[in-house]
Structure 1
Amino acid sequence: MKIYRLIGTTMILVLLSCSKNDDTIETNENKAPITFELLGINEGDGQKPLLTWEASTDPDGDPLTYDVIAENEDGISKVVAKNIAGTSFELDGLVNSIGEYSWKVVAKDGKGGQMVSKINKECTKFNTLIFSKTALTKRTPFSVAKGSGGASGGIFVFDSKIYTSGADKREWWQSTNGSAWSKVNLPEDLGTDQAKLLTFKNKLWCISGDGKIVWYWGGYEIYWAWEYGELKQKTRAPGWRLVSRSANFPPPYSSDDYKIVIFKDKIWSIRGTSVGNVGKAWRSTDMVNWTTHGLLFRLPYSEGSTLSVFNGRLWQIGGIGTRYRWSSNDGINWRREGLDFSSTRRTAWHSSVVYDNKLWAITGWGIDGDIWWSSDGNRWNLTNKNEVPFKGRVLTSSVVFNNKVFVVGGYVWYDDEDTSIKTDVWTMKKCSSGLRFEL
């Protein structure tokens, strides 16, 4: 009897043990997708903006989809797309409906696991430019403009420095950072005459006001010379080297109607003309000998325009003499392009640069401080003018330096409370989805 009772008790314990084990189910905790970054907004196909991001991966091997979310400055979010299988989303048509939002993307594994993209609010706004509110410097020791009816000074980069002139071109200045400026020592023979500084074929050139005397800046040089009947080695210190006193630099030198560009390994000086007349271009390979042979053409003169080299062509942009843009692949045969910059808006006395594979027209005639850009020279886009950190101005000088665009000075002419010459410097640079003016 005791034996049966013991066996029964043992069986009950075994059954209870089995029942307890059957109720215990081992589960693996679902892991969220790994972190990933939002790359920004690119133009995509044509002019359609494309939001792109890195691909996330799931530790459990689950397939991922993505949601695109727009978030305003108050933290209010709006889901604009769900369950995207790829790593991009076309934003075309969302400009008006979304407005001033930042963007983020959420990776989902379908089992409740989620990961939000790293957010850079400066670089993911739906704007081509994002601005700070502070100038690099508020007071340069010169002004590139001299007021209404004046003209901006020249500007270029050479040997890791920015060179720019005062408005009257009797003084030139240089800077390694755009904030601290020092005066350029011009050739002594120049006297108080105007000077034209240019960079061409990796040299810095200076041309006198009448276009006849040409110098270039030379570094340390070793040369041999006869002295007291012996051939001796001598050293020449850095300085201006005289090249010619009989150059024929295109007249009239002092006219700002003549735009100077480097195009197809030659230096060009080009001026359009009034309707029905013939324009003229000069070109040179050595800065001394200039020719106009075969360089007559018909290009409408446009006061306040700029001349830029972009995508292998010369482009005349803006101005008040013509409503159209013009381009040429040889400097002689000019093709009329579209309107500047829309059917209702033009600009003049602006500055232009080529940056980030785009052609830019910066500020100019108008009260809004407009900044326009184009990827092909024909279709133009207006940046968010509400974020431009300075008032509309004319006669700015702009240049690309150290992967940034430097915008120097200008003149405010439309504001009765602030009609003044500006001596500040602003910078903008590429920032993932576009550009931003920075501190």
Structure 2
Amino acid sequence: MTERIYNLYKKHGVFMITTVMMLLLIVTPAVAEDILTNWTQATNSTEFSPRYFHTSVVYDDKMWVIAGDDGSYKNDVWYSTNGVNWTQATNSTAFSPRFIPESVVYDDKMWVIAGWDDVSNKNDVWYSTDGANWTLANDSAAFSPRRGAALIVYDDKMWVIGGREDNGHVNDVWYSTDGEIWTLANDSAAFSARNFQASVVYDGKMWLIGGSSPQILNDVWYSTDGEIWTLANDSAAFSPRRDSTCIVSDERMWIIGGADRQNNFNDVWYSTDGEIWTQANVSAAFSPRRSFSSVIYDGSVWIIGGLDNDSMKNDVWYSNVV
């Protein structure tokens, strides 16, 4: 039988794929390089003004855009269920207009912490369950007033990591379970003082990536307790950058966009261990930009607003991950 099939191949000069091979091809999952490669523009211009240094979360089955800078500092709040149509929850929150605040979802609430309000760095802490009404948890938290810090949720706590205070960059680490009482985990972590770093929770660890100290960085650090930080890579394959975003999808960490002192980026990189980074997209469909927000919502990664080489943006892009 095998000889007859071989003679058929030889006679007709073709190569046939067996049914078994075809089935294998059908069930083989997409490789990582196929993810975050194709980007679709949901809208070129949203109802909220073009802006950068805003912050975003996913809460109550909606994407949210909070505060930022559109030429003046904002304290408005917007939400959307499809990335195209945006509804204003409030034009002016109880917290002061600001840019570079940080936000997370924790304890069934949206939280906004710190930032710069055109007068000073902030260390106030606010929360909301509807985006319109905001409650002050602490008007002066134990950590110093700062902007460009990292804020993540890990081990059932909110963590504030680094940032820039009035006297320069810091590398302290703080945590809280209620937004009011903050505990110092490390007043001088192993990583250099910095702000505008990317941060994410992945593989049971907190990760800190790149930023400005003030030199632009591409190092990668992780911790399981906020006190001890381990260097995964002192110079990752992606170029040094600040103002990028980091998300977790397909059991990988992904770094998107950002900027150094001369250039904005729209490349996409991923890693499974923080040490080895692979480029998935050299130049995504959205313009090179920094200071945008990104979330995972409804099976897609979303890119919202930011600052590109020409202007502030209020466009929205997405890439399917499931």
TM-score bracket, shorter-length normalisation = 0.7 to 0.9
- State the 1:402 CA deviation: 1.5
Gaps of 5+ in 2: 6-13
The answer to whether the Cα contact below 8 Å between 2:147 and 2:164 also exists between their aligned partners in 1 is no
Structure of higher CA gyration radius: 1
- State the 1:382 CA deviation: 0.4
| 1:329 aligns with one of 224, 241, 245 | 224
Alignment partner of 1:184 is 2:80: no
Alignment partner of 1:364 is 2:258: yes
Alignment partner of 1:263 is 2:170: no
1:195-228 residue CA offsets vs partner (Å, 9 max, x unmatched):
875421112346687545745437xxxxxxxxxx
Per the alignment, do residues 245 and 126 of structure 1 end up closer, same or farther by CA in structure 2, a change over 3 Å counting?
closer
Per the alignment, do residues 182 and 295 of structure 1 end up closer, same or farther by CA in structure 2, a change over 3 Å counting?
same
Q: How does 1:11-410 map to 2 (within 5 A)?
A: 106-107=17-18, 127-132=34-39, 134-142=40-48, 145-146=51-52, 152-167=53-68, 168-185=73-90, 190=94, 192-194=96-98, 198-205=104-111, 211=123, 214-217=126-129, 240=133, 242=135, 244=137, 248=141, 250-252=143-145, 255-271=146-162, 279-292=171-184, 295-321=187-213, 322-342=217-237, 345-365=239-259, 366=263, 369-386=266-283, 388-410=284-306
Per the alignment, do residues 184 and 379 of structure 1 end up closer, same or farther by CA in structure 2, a change over 3 Å counting?
same
Cα separation, 1, equivalents of 2:294 and 2:33:
24
- State the 1:296 CA deviation: 4.2
Cα separation, 2, equivalents of 1:307 and 1:125:
21
- State the 1:346 CA deviation: 2.6
Please report the TM-score for the alignment, with normalisation by the length of structure 2: 0.74
Tell me the matched-pair count: 288
Cα separation, 2, equivalents of 1:129 and 1:245:
38
What SS does the aligned partner of 1:361 have?
strand
- State the 1:306 CA deviation: 0.9
Give the aligned CA root-mean-square deviation in angstroms.
Answer: 3.8
- 352-361 or 297-306, which deviates more: 297-306
Aligned residue identity for 1:267: M
The answer to whether the Cα contact below 8 Å between 2:67 and 2:76 also exists between their aligned partners in 1 is yes
1:335-384 residue CA offsets vs partner (Å, 9 max, x unmatched):
12214432x73332211111121111111124552111111221111013
Per the alignment, do residues 351 and 169 of structure 1 end up closer, same or farther by CA in structure 2, a change over 3 Å counting?
farther
The answer to whether the Cα contact below 8 Å between 1:272 and 1:301 also exists between their aligned partners in 2 is yes
Please report the TM-score for the alignment, with normalisation by the length of structure 1: 0.56
The answer to whether the Cα contact below 8 Å between 2:197 and 2:212 also exists between their aligned partners in 1 is yes
Per the alignment, do residues 340 and 135 of structure 1 end up closer, same or farther by CA in structure 2, a change over 3 Å counting?
farther
What SS does the aligned partner of 1:354 have?
strand
Aligned residue identity for 2:48: F
Q: Counting strand residues as a fraction of each chain, which structure ranks higher? A: 2
Cα separation, 2, equivalents of 1:278 and 1:199:
24
Per the alignment, do residues 306 and 191 of structure 1 end up closer, same or farther by CA in structure 2, a change over 3 Å counting?
closer
Q: What's the % identity of the aligned pairs?
A: 25
Cα separation, 1, equivalents of 2:55 and 2:294:
9
